[in-house]
Amino acid sequence: MKNFKIVAILGLAQFVMVLDSTVMNVSISKVVLDLHSSVTAMQGAITFYTLTMAALMLIGAKLGDIWGRKKAFMIGSVVYACGSLITGLSPNMTTLFIGWSIIEGLGAVLVIPAIASLVANNYSGKERVSAYAILGAITGGAVAAGPLIGGFVTTYFSWRYVFFSEVLIMAIVLLLSGYVKDTVAKVQSKIDVLSAILSGGGLVLIVFGMLQSKTWGWILPHGAPSINGHNIEPLGLSVVIYLIIIGCVLIKLFYNRQQKLEAENKNPLVKVSLLKISQLRSGLGVLIGQYMITAGLFFSIPVYLQMTLGYDALSTGLHIFPLSIGLILFSVIGTKLTKKYSPKKIIRLGQIILIIAVTTLLGSVSLTLKSLVFLFAAFFAGAALGLLASQIGNVNMSSVEKEDSSEVGGLQGLFQNLGSSLGTALIGSIFIAFLTSSFVNNIQSSNLPSNIKTTISNSSKAGIQIIPVSEVNSIAESKGVSSSDSEQIKSIYTNSQVSAMRIALAGLIIVSLLALLFSKGIPDTIIK
């Protein structure tokens, strides 16, 4: 490929953006300890990093049209580096949330759509196909490398060095950005503020509702939010269901407004008419499913390995390493396969392998990890995700003309990060909900003293906190519980964590099966 350095520069920036969605998952227990926080707070930070990007990605893409893609890319890189620096220096979870989940997310919404558009500007024909395939492989590699990098750096140095290194990398990207050309003219237009409010507000309400379901309940309320001591339970239902319904209504209003603005040639935030393209619609559907599964795996597996089995960050990263290797290796193999096989065949193969692999992962989860089965299943889960990552970028971008590449770049970033947000929020909430119900039910059916049963039942109404199994005894005994009773509580809690993990993986299997439906419109011929 001529001018490989251009895709290398853009790919380096994309690597950092995507890396942040998985690099901290294996460091959850260490970050929680250092910042005196909780797993639930970390779940929120991880979710809101990708949610910030999902909610504002379309605005970032539109700003790229107005400012110019290269200018947006450079501004976003500076903002992202500032967020990384703040995160690395953070003394508490609030500062980490601001630096990581908000400021880094704001930088990424400018960079990611610009990358897709700048590739279209700098390459054409087969080189363009190869460039998008390379970016897909880099994206998959970043997702895969995150746990290993995070585990190594956290164990031997500090998780903070991950973010300090990102500042250095983004500085290098800025220094080399002179090689990247932006040949598409700027668009003279303004951002429709109402569209931005409707899209951002709708997405935030939906994902926040799912995130809070573990605390407030999905339909029937438990641990409801309160004002002046009065629980907020409209019509006896959980606030969560209202948040999700209102969010969906806002998204529908956003869609209707985009149709109206586009019909009147008034510059919509996104050209929703593009969604009529079967290839693009299918590609985005597969993409959101892929990232829901990826985020769900990279959140739930580290929680199981660290909180249930007691592994440290490096051991966790090493156990996820086969998944990472499979993802990187088959991202490259998938790129090569595009010369002989259609995207549909490759994607369908990846989806089928993924269903089998996650089912096998579920079977390996127990009080003592079935290591060989787990490692085998993790490798093939990564291989499946690698095949998907190698295809989707080119499927989406080749579905439109060059002038719409920025629009599709924004949509791709939106669906990718929305999938990550939903995956972390949904699977995390399922895990905690089933952990709570299993733990409380098993406590109630045990022979523990009635006062312990009552105390645990009352304290569990807002959901059980995810804590290391190794700490259960000390926590129970600090409350005056006898050593024999605390041992029984530990056993029940451990079994409840394992059961909750299995249910979470079952949820991912269902998502994998549903994702098969979206691949119907993927091209069944080789894309040239």
| DSSP codes of every residue in 438-453 | HHHHHHHTSSS-HHHH
Query: In 10 A of CB 211, how many CB atoms?
Result: 25
Give the chain's domain count.
1
Greatest pairwise CA separation for the chain in angstroms: 74
Residue 202 lies in a domain: no
CATH number of the domain bearing residue 150:
1.20.1250.20
Nearest residue to 288 (alpha-carbon basis) of 198, 400, 200, 412: 412
Tell me the C-alpha distance between 186 and 369, whole Å.
55
Q: What is the pLDDT of residues 217-262, one digit of tens each?
A: 667 666 656 666 666 777 677 788 888 899 999 999 999 998 888 8
Whether residue 299 is contained in a domain is answered as yes
pTM strictly above 0.85 = no
Q: Are 381 and 521 in contact (CB under 8 A)?
A: no
Provide CB contacts within 8 A for 420, sequence distance 6+: 21, 50, 54, 291, 292, 294, 295
- Comparing C-alpha atoms, which of 237, 230, 231 is closest to residue 209? 237
Residue 526 lies in a domain: no
The verdict on residue 219 lying in a domain is: no
74-114 pLDDT, tens per residue? 999 999 999 999 999 999 989 998 998 889 988 988 888 78
Q: What confidence score (pLDDT) does residue 167 get?
A: 92
At residue 185 the predicted structure's pLDDT band, cuts being 50, 70 and 90, is: low
Q: Is residue 480 part of a domain?
A: no
Q: Is the pLDDT at 1 greater than 60, yes or no?
A: no
Q: Report the sign of the C-alpha dihedral through residues 503, 206, 223, 307, in that order.
A: positive
Residue 129 placed within a domain: yes
pLDDT digits (tens, 9 = 90+) for 35-71: 888 777 887 787 788 778 777 877 887 888 788 888 8
Encode pLDDT of 448-484 as tens digits: 888 877 877 777 665 566 777 877 788 777 777 788 8
Tell me, yes or no, whether 36 lies in a domain: yes
- Flag whether 48 is in a domain: yes
State the residue for tokens 């500062």.
95
Q: Residue 353: which domain range?
A: 4-191+269-434+503-521
Written as one letter, the residue type at 404 is D
Helix (H, G, I), strand (E, B) or coil at 232: coil
Q: Which of 122-136, 341-355, 357-371 has the highest mean pLDDT?
A: 341-355
For residue 498, give the H/E element and its range. Answer: helix 483-518
| 234-259 burial code (b ≥16 CB/10 A, e <16) | eeeebbbbebbeebeebbebbbebbe
